[in-house]
Amino acid sequence: MAITKAKLRANLYTTIYTHLNTNVTDPKIRSKQWMFSSFPDYEAPNFIGYPIIVIDKAKIDKAYETFDNSNGELSFPLSITVFSPKGADVDSLSDSVDVAMAISIDDCFTFSDYSEDEGQITINGKSVHHRTHKHIIEVDLWI
């Protein structure tokens, strides 16, 4: 998929979401969405339960608007967070995310940096483990 200036944020998110959804298997084999762009309402009666993956929307510097009508490169941070009350689920899904992100997403993507952060939060009185995969991605932008 060509990433264009006209639909930059939408194209980036759709490309990453589709790639992860294709290459990371839901361990509970649910037929509902389990990857999100923000943390879902865990108190809603239709909350799918854990584990879940949250793919943050791309944070794009407004400087990209100064590109002319030639190819340009854009760097942006990407965070993918795995949540589950079971640490083993977080570890297993994190391994799957790492493997998926090592697979070429598109010729226009280059990964320039990686780090991760992990911890626990309390939701409805229960501990929920999380690991955030932080990537810096460079993309060849087609204007």
pLDDT digits (tens, 9 = 90+) for 82-93: 999 999 999 999
pLDDT of residue 60: 73
Is residue 110, in this structure, part of any structural domain at all? yes
Query: Does the pLDDT of residue 4 top 70, yes or no?
Result: no
Report the number of distinct structural domains present in the chain. 1
Write out the residue range of the structural domain in which residue 119 sits.
Answer: 5-37+47-141
Mean pLDDT of 89-102: 93
Task: Evaluate whether residue 55 is within a structural domain.
Answer: yes
Domain assignment present for residue 100? The answer is yes
- Domain annotation covers residue 79: yes
The verdict on residue 11 lying in a domain is yes
Q: Residue 94: pLDDT band by 50, 70, 90 thresholds?
A: very high
Report the side by side order of strands in the sheet with 126-141: 35-36, 52-55, 72-84, 126-141, 109-123
CATH code, 76? 3.30.2000
pLDDT in tens, 120-134: 999 888 999 999 999
Which pLDDT belongs to residue 70?
Answer: 53
pLDDT at residue 73, as a whole number: 73
Return the pLDDT at 90.
Answer: 96
Whether 42 is covered by a domain: the verdict is: no
Instruction: State the chain's mean pLDDT as an integer.
Output: 84
pLDDT of residue 112: 78
Q: In the 3-class helix/strand/coil scheme, how is the chain assigned residue by residue?
A: CCCEHHHHHHHHHHHHHHHHHHHCCCCCCCCCCCEECCCCCCCCCCCCCCCEEEECCCCCCHHHHHCCCCCEEEEEEEEEEEEECCHHHHHHHHHHHHHHHHCCCCCCEEEEEEEEEEEEEEECCEEEEEEEEEEEEEEEEEC
* pTM, full prediction: 0.84
